Chain A
Amino acid sequence: MTNHWIDYQHSDVIMAIGVNTAENHPMSMRWIDRARERGAKLISIDPRLTRTAAVADLWLPLRPGTDIALLGGLINYTIEKELYQREYIVNYTNAAYILDSGYFFADGIFSGYAEGSYNRDTWSYELDTEGNPRKDPSLQHPRCVFQVLKDHYARYDAETVCKIVGCSREDFELVASTYCATGAPDKAGNILYAMGITQSTHGSQNVRATAVLQLLLGNIGIPGGGVNAQRGEANVQGSTDMAMLYHILPGYLNMPQGMDHPTLADYNAKETPASSYWSNKPKFLISMLKAWWGEKATPENDFCYQWLPKLDGKNHSHIAIFEAMARGEIQGMFVWGQNPAVGGPQAELERKALENLDWMVAVDLFETETASFWRRPKADPASIKTEVFLLPAAASYEKDGSVSNSGRWIQWRHKAIEPPGEAKSDLWIADQLYKALRYHYSLGGVFPDPILGLNWDYGQGEEEPDIEKVALEINGYEIENHKPLENFTKLAADGSTACGCWIYSGYYNDLEDPPAKRRIREQKGIGTHADWAFAWPLNRRILYNRCSSDPSGKPWNPKVPLVFWEGGEWRMNDVPDFAWKDNPPENTAQSPFIMLPELQARLFSPGMADGPLPEHYEPAESPVHNVLSSQQNNPVITWWQGLGKLATREDFPYIGTTYRVSEHWQSGIMTRNSPWLAEMAPEMFVEISVQLAEKLGISNGSQVFVSTPRGEIKAVAYVTRRLKPMQVDGKLVEIVGMPWHWGYRGLFPGDSANVLTPHVGDPNTTIPEYKAFLCNIRRA
């Protein structure tokens, strides 16, 4: 999130797209309602009449997977009606930048395309003789970003958009006129999204489309505005920050690649930009290496840079890991608080792939479907070789530690009780695992140095590790005296500082009164609650907040001033997100995005795998042809071998989509083992429209089979008016909706929706396309 939950109270219009916030983030409604008490409007964009849609001022039913068509339509509406905030985009974005003359877009393909991928050289700026990008602040140059954007989205006229999305012209106009009115300088439009946006073969571009619209309307960096990703798990923000991902190290440093970064000097040269705050990157990496390998990391050995594994240039994401496992290339797996046998796409493929493992270590509160894959229905344990260890973990209140919410607030959880039986905290399990490995490598082994040399001293023997030592290491300390660093501005690249995750620096900088444990509510102010917990980075609650004021420093909305220039100085209700010290407004007016080399936001982005501007493509499986171009799907999708044949429209005529209910959480392993919750939502169901039920002779409450080429599931039919057939390009399209919380374990077992979903993902992130696929349904 750029902003945070409580800040929603300052919004004038809230557009929830691809997020059912009332059911899946119920507490958000508290702050949405606070805004509505002032007259704010809530728009829900969702295929179903969800509980969010039911209480919204406007609901626009959208065909799954067509978000870019809708958002592109809103971008076009904003430009056509001149509702964009000109002064904001000229100063705060790359709207005025002139593009390379080689850039073009034709029939769904951008310049540089060849054989399934893009050469991005032409997605760049034209440079002047001094090497700086050429700009036209009048925004008239035909190759300036603004004009290119205008041309690109002129194709997204209302008629075309409605044809793709399946909504009425009236609904589109109403949503457009309501939302795009937030282009007024003193109005705040807020876009909320979740997995309805991301789980798509163009998910990253869906997100980009929300950002482009928000920038045009001047809605980034202001109270009540922002692009607010409502994340699905209590600490998915934190686990991302800590780099439980193959492509990054903690704090969003790219993982070293063998071919690009053979040495630390290569890494620093290629990964450190000349401008932006990332010019400090060597300080972050070297401080991390000092945190990991302590005294062993010296300037002479490049701070043990070579002890980090290097990537092979290939994808190692969830889908790729299971494809490799299915091919027999992966022999052992840790699966820690995760349940891919229910939550992974094309679940039968993934369950079967687990049989190829020699060993699996699963750590959880309850027995997961993943840990018990060898005794799943129809499996024959006698033919499965895998050795499985299932380790009992402590629940959230049975241990100490911090979690980071969607608003980047790092909050401490205190241990209330002992875990039951022999269950242990994950911290203890990690510590014991390391100690056992260290013992075995002390006896010899292949290249034991990075293991034996690891800076690891959190507790003796089998005692609970001292979590404060871990927190201090993440926060950072001075090597000389182990004093906590105030924050990451104190980091050095010479080995004199250690810091495990630079963006968290400051969260635990006072051992007597750690900011992450602070609980002081704001008495008066705009709801930033600066003394409640700690928000990364630097306790900043709203990112890009220079944009909350005009170039001269005057707040766009004087009723909610955030960071503004008054009486010859910066005044602030938040930690400024720009170089503000001794720097008057004119010096900072064109550098509000300190993490980008341009220091201005990118309406046009050269960094994506699949195009510098979001373009509509159909999902991998779709009931219709792409209306906008002859390019049916995102042209740079990876078609994995495990996916097999796609569903045909003839055999699988309906759109399948998945979602969650309030009473369950993700793969359901915690909630299906909670008697209160399992009782409230005991059974797997699929929702279909009244019309489809009549056509197929399915009665409410009866059993049905839903199938795709990947498999078949049985569930209870829920015939509902919440789903309606949609008119898409002259064709009537039906949607089959289903939650994905069930599996073969827990108090109430049920079939898993992910048996149906495909092994295909977004080209930037490889997030699977759970939200739009083709299926069939029949009476059981």
Chain B
Amino acid sequence: MKITRREFFKLTGLAALAAAVVGCDWDKDPVISYPLVDAKEVTTICPYCSCGCGAICYVVNGKLVSVSGDPDHPINEGALCSKGASLLNLNTVYNLRTHSPETNPNRLTKVLYRAPYSKVWEKKNWRWAMDRIARRVKETRDATFESQEKGVIVNRTLAIAHLGSAALDNEENYLLAKLMRSLGIVNLDHHARL
């Protein structure tokens, strides 16, 4: 389904009018080309500032077609700011030539690797990258591990740092806090200190 920006506005305008006249009794046929009807609604929280505004993701056939303010959310009551209103762009942008939605071309979609002294990124697969990272971490940790300081057990390495992140979820942060400390890493910091 391809739809121009103009057609989109025309259709949404008509849809709003229809909704006003007949309430929620949608006529299924004409709205086939209207992206939000029959879309799956999934609630989310805006990832930008800390207001914690609610937003709704509209999903059709597994594709994100729109993100708008959640009218049921008690903090923002349906409203969003400029950043919140652009949430769609994190995943999807409109191609300026074709007017079709497409995955934001700047998103990272493959593991990228830069070898020492190289001038380029190389695409790699996850399994290779995870194995290589684990080897490097182990190499550094094991070469710099301090078991004791002045007779006290300290079990740490000062040669590895971990930065981040306020952009991660609580559950992700928790697992990383646990994992990094199990490795003995104490150089830990993130956005809260900036």
A107 to B105, CA, bound (A): 60
B158 and A324 form a contact (CB under 8 A) = yes
A393 to B140, CA, bound (A): 25
Q: Determine the residue in chain A with the shortest Cβ distance to B173.
A: A242
Chain B, residues 128-144, CB within 8 Å of chain A (1/0): the string is 01111111111011101
Known interface pairs A245-B192, A309-B186, A397-B64. Does A501 touch B174 (Cβ–Cβ under 8 Å)? yes
B169 and A236 form a contact (CB under 8 A) = no
B163 and A321 form a contact (CB under 8 A) = yes
CB distance from B146 to the nearest CB of A (A): 8
The total of chain A residues at the interface (CB under 8 A) is 165
B52 and A233 form a contact (CB under 8 A) = no
CB distance from A172 to the nearest CB of B (A): 30
A337 to B189, CA, bound (A): 12
**Is A409 an interface position by the 8 A CB rule?**
yes
**Is A239 an interface position by the 8 A CB rule?**
yes
Known interface pairs A395-B90, A396-B45, A500-B174. Does A231 touch B138 (Cβ–Cβ under 8 Å)? no
Q: Determine the residue in chain B with the shortest Cβ distance to A22.
A: B81
A338 to B112, CA, bound (A): 17
Choice from A258, A389, A662, A666 contacting B82 with Cβ under 8 Å: A662
A318 to B157, CA, bound (A): 17
CB distance from B120 to the nearest CB of A (A): 8
**Is B24 an interface position by the 8 A CB rule?**
no
Of the candidate stretches A440-448, A481-489, A573-581, the one touching chain B is A440-448
Choice from A25, A317, A767 contacting B51 with Cβ under 8 Å: A25
Pull 26 A–B residue pairs with CB atoms less than 8 Å apart, ordered by A.
Answer: A5-B52, A6-B75, A25-B49, A30-B75, A234-B46, A234-B50, A235-B47, A238-B169, A239-B170, A243-B188, A258-B152, A291-B178, A306-B155, A308-B155, A309-B184, A343-B191, A365-B108, A396-B45, A411-B45, A416-B64, A420-B103, A420-B109, A521-B72, A662-B81, A662-B82, A664-B83
Of the candidate stretches B2-10, B12-20, B27-35, B55-63, the one touching chain A is B55-63
Query: What residues of A have a CB within 8 angstroms of the CB of B129 in the complex?
Result: 389, 391
Query: What residues of A have a CB within 8 angstroms of the CB of B107 in the complex?
Result: 365-366, 392, 420-421, 423, 673
B50 and A25 form a contact (CB under 8 A) = yes
Known interface pairs A238-B170, A662-B81. Does A338 touch B45 (Cβ–Cβ under 8 Å)? no
Q: Determine the residue in chain B with the shortest Cβ distance to A681.
A: B82
Query: What residues of A have a CB within 8 angstroms of the CB of B176 in the complex?
Result: 244, 336, 426, 430
A473 to B179, CA, bound (A): 14
Query: What residues of A have a CB within 8 angstroms of the CB of B83 in the complex?
Result: 662-665, 671, 677
**Is A386 an interface position by the 8 A CB rule?**
yes
A358 and B140 form a contact (CB under 8 A) = yes
CB distance from B74 to the nearest CB of A (A): 5
B168 and A426 form a contact (CB under 8 A) = yes
Known interface pairs A238-B170, A330-B187. Does A417 touch B193 (Cβ–Cβ under 8 Å)? no
Choice from A317, A330, A432, A671 contacting B126 with Cβ under 8 Å: A432
CB distance from A547 to the nearest CB of B (A): 24
A401 and B170 form a contact (CB under 8 A) = yes
Query: What residues of A have a CB within 8 angstroms of the CB of B185 in the complex?
Result: 309
A292 to B176, CA, bound (A): 12
Chain B, residues 62-104, CB within 8 Å of chain A (1/0): the string is 1110010000101111010111011101110110000000011
A392 and B111 form a contact (CB under 8 A) = yes
**Is A55 an interface position by the 8 A CB rule?**
no
CB distance from A418 to the nearest CB of B (A): 7
A236 and B174 form a contact (CB under 8 A) = no
Known interface pairs A262-B152, A382-B119, A662-B83. Does A417 touch B57 (Cβ–Cβ under 8 Å)? yes
A275 to B107, CA, bound (A): 52
Query: What residues of A have a CB within 8 angstroms of the CB of B133 in the complex?
Result: 359, 361, 389, 433, 436
Known interface pairs A292-B182, A432-B130, A447-B155. Does A427 touch B169 (Cβ–Cβ under 8 Å)? yes
Find the residue from A446, A521, A746 having the highest chain B CB count within 10 A.
Answer: A446
B136 and A332 form a contact (CB under 8 A) = yes
B134 and A244 form a contact (CB under 8 A) = no
Choice from B43, B44, B57, B93 contacting A675 with Cβ under 8 Å: B93
**Is A255 an interface position by the 8 A CB rule?**
yes
Query: What residues of A have a CB within 8 angstroms of the CB of B153 in the complex?
Result: 262, 306, 310
B193 and A317 form a contact (CB under 8 A) = yes
A414 and B44 form a contact (CB under 8 A) = yes
B170 and A397 form a contact (CB under 8 A) = no
A675 to B117, CA, bound (A): 33
Residues of chain A from 295 to 323 with CB closer than 8 A to chain B in the complex: 306-312, 316-318, 321
Q: Determine the residue in chain A with the shortest Cβ distance to B91.
A: A395
A244 and B190 form a contact (CB under 8 A) = yes
Known interface pairs A244-B173, A258-B154. Does A767 touch B49 (Cβ–Cβ under 8 Å)? no
